[in-house]
Amino acid sequence: MSIVVMKFGGTSVADADKIRAAARRAVRTQKKGHQVVMVVSAMGKTTDALVDLAEQVMRGKPAPKREMDQLLSTGEQVTISLMAMAMEEMGASAISLTAGQIGMVTDEAHTKARIKSIAAGRIREQLDEGRIVIVAGFQGVTAGGAVTTLGRGGSNVTLVAIAAALKADLCENYTDVDGVYTTDPRIVPNARKISIISYDEMLELASLGASVLHNRAVEFAKKYDVPVHVRSSLNNRKGTMIVAETESMERIAVSGVALKEEVARVSLSKVPDRPGIAARIFHTIATHDIVVDDIIQTVSEDGTAVVSFTVDPGELSEAKAVCNGLAAALKCDVRYEDHLAKVSAVGVGMRVHTGVAEKMFAALAKAKVNIENITTSEIRISCLIDRTQGKKALRAVHDAFELGAKKTKSKTARKAAKK
C-alpha cells in the first residue's frame, strides 16, 4: 500500500466549502487504496487576524516570540480539526494531529524553528488503523513542550519533512496555481507550465520569485530526495514534478526565466584592496540582519576595489545607515541605487550547453535593454537592468529561449500584454 502526503495551503482551505473540497480529494485518494496524510495551513486570513490581535495587545511593540508561536499555531489547529470533521461527515475515518501530538520536535528557535525529529510511528499507527491523518503544518514543539513555528513557507517544510519521515511514495502540494511556469504568466501570457524540474533549478527560480514552494522546503526535498508534485487544488490536471536532476534535463539549456521587479544596489568604491576587507564589510552587514543578494567585487586600475551588492529596496535605508559608517571607517566612497530589476535564466542544461549567456545578452541588446551587472551560478545567469525595462526584458529572454507555448498564440498574447 502506497503512502500519499498531500498539503493544502491557506487559500485552498479558506472556508467550509474549500475544506470539504480538500477533504473529498483525500477521501477519494484513500478509496483508490492509498494511505493518506494531509498537511494543512491556517484558513485564509486567519494568521493575519491573529497577528493583528497581537499588535493591538502589544501596542505595536514586537511580541515575545514564544507567545507568538503559541498564538499562531492555533490557526492550523482549527483547520486540522475542521478537516477531520469534513472527512468523517463523508463517511471516512480521520484524525487530526497537532505538531505536539505527532512529536514533530524542533529546536528552540521560536518563529523560525528547524525540525529535529518526527515520531513517524504515531502517524503510521493511525494510517494502519485505516484513518486519514491530518497534520497541522507550520508548527513544531520543543523537547520541553513549547509550541514553535517553522517560519515562512513552514507548511511546505512540514509536507516534505513528513513525506521524508514516512518514506512516502508521493508528495503533493496543492496550491492556487497549476504548477511551476517557465516564467510569471501575469507578465508573459504565453508562459508554459513546466512538467518536470530539478530541485536546483527550483531553488534558483524560487529565490527569484516563483514562489510556489519555499526554498527551505525545496532544500529539504532535495536532501531527502522527496519528489514533490506542485498542482492546483481547483482541477485534476497534472502540475509540476520537482525531482532530482536527471540526464534528460540537460537537453534543455534554460528551463525558466524569472524577474525580480525591485532590486537596490549598494556600491562601495575606492575600497583598499587587501585581504580581509570583504569579510569585514559583509560581517558588519550581517550583524545588522540585512539580507544581501548578488555580490560583485572588481579591482580598478588604481589598485582599489569596487564592492557592490544588491539588497531588497525595503532594506535599503537600514543598509545606508550601516554602509555610511563602513565607508567612513574604510575611507572609501559609497553609492546607492534604487532603480534596478533583475532578470535571470535558469537551467541545469547550462552546464553542458554553450552560448547560453551570449543568447541572453543578445536578446536583451535587441530589446534595447542595458545590462548594469551580470552574475552567474552554475545553472543561472542574472542581469541587473533598469526597473522600467524589467517586464520587456523578461519577455525578450523568455522568447529567446523559446520557452513559450505555440508561436501564434504567443504573438497575440504579447500584443495584448504590451497594451
Give the binding site for a copy of itself (CB under 8 A): 15-16, 19-20, 50, 53-54, 56-59, 61, 63-64, 66-68, 70-71, 73-74, 77-78, 80-82, 84-86, 88-89, 95-96, 98, 100-101, 145-147
Place of cell 525531482: 243
Please say which residue, 53 or 329, places its beta carbon nearer to a copy of itself.
Answer: 53
Which lies closer to a copy of itself via its Cβ, residue 61 or residue 331?
A: 61
> Looking at the DSSP assignment, which residues form a beta bridge with residue 337?
265
Contact 220, 161 (CB under 8 A): yes
Give min distance, CB of 10 to a copy of itself, in A: 15
* Closer to a copy of itself by Cβ: residue 32 or 61: 61
Please say which residue, 23 or 213, places its beta carbon nearer to a copy of itself: 23
Minimum CB distance to a copy of itself smaller for 65 or for 152: 65
Residue 256 CB, nearest approach to a copy of itself (Å):
38
Give dist(CA 343, CA 360) in Å, integer.
10
Angle of helix 215-224 versus helix 154-165 axis, rounded to 10: 10
CB of 1 to a copy of itself, least distance (A): 24
Q: Which is nearer to a copy of itself, 110 or 214 (CB)?
A: 110
Minimum CB separation of residue 242 from a copy of itself in Å reads 31
For residues 117 and 128, what is the distance between their CA atoms, to the nearest angstrom?
A: 21
| CB of 172 vs a copy of itself, minimal distance in Å | 22
State how far the Cα of 383 lies from the Cα of 340, in Å rounded to an integer: 10
> Please, which residue, 103 or 189, has the CB nearer to a copy of itself?
103
Torsion of CA 170, 179, 74, 47, to 10 degrees: 170
- Smallest distance, Å, CB 418 to a copy of itself? 45
- Alpha helix stretches (DSSP H) within 262-307: 277-287
Q: Which residue, 147 or 150, is less far from a copy of itself as judged by CB? A: 147
Whichever of 79 and 410 has its CB closer to a copy of itself, that residue is: 79
CA dihedral 380, 383, 389, 390 (to 10 degrees): 30
Angle between helices 277-287 and 316-330 (to 10 degrees): 140
The CA distances from residue 207 to 88, 292, 346, 391, 393, in Å, are 39, 12, 11, 18, 18
Closest separation between CB of residue 67 and a copy of itself, Å?
4
| Chain centre distance of CA 366 | 32
Give the C-alpha separation, 54 to 331, whole Å.
Answer: 44
Going by C-alpha positions, the residue among 392, 416, 415 that lies closest to residue 183 is: 392
Whole-number minimum distance, CB 393 to a copy of itself, in Å?
46
Q: What angle do CA 187, 176, 154 make, to 5 degrees?
A: 105
Terminal-to-terminal C-alpha distance of the chain: 53
* Minimum CB distance to a copy of itself, residue 376 (Å): 46
Q: List strands edge to edge, sheet with 196-198.
A: 94-97, 132-136, 35-40, 3-8, 170-175, 228-232, 240-243, 196-198
Running DSSP on this structure, what letter comes out for residue 193?
B
Q: Which is nearer to a copy of itself, 16 or 362 (CB)?
A: 16
Q: How far is the CB of 82 from a copy of itself (least distance, A)?
A: 5
Whose grid coordinates read 507578465?
187
128 residue type, one letter? D
Nearer to a copy of itself, 58 or 295 (CB): 58
Nearest approach, Cβ of residue 307 and a copy of itself (Å): 41
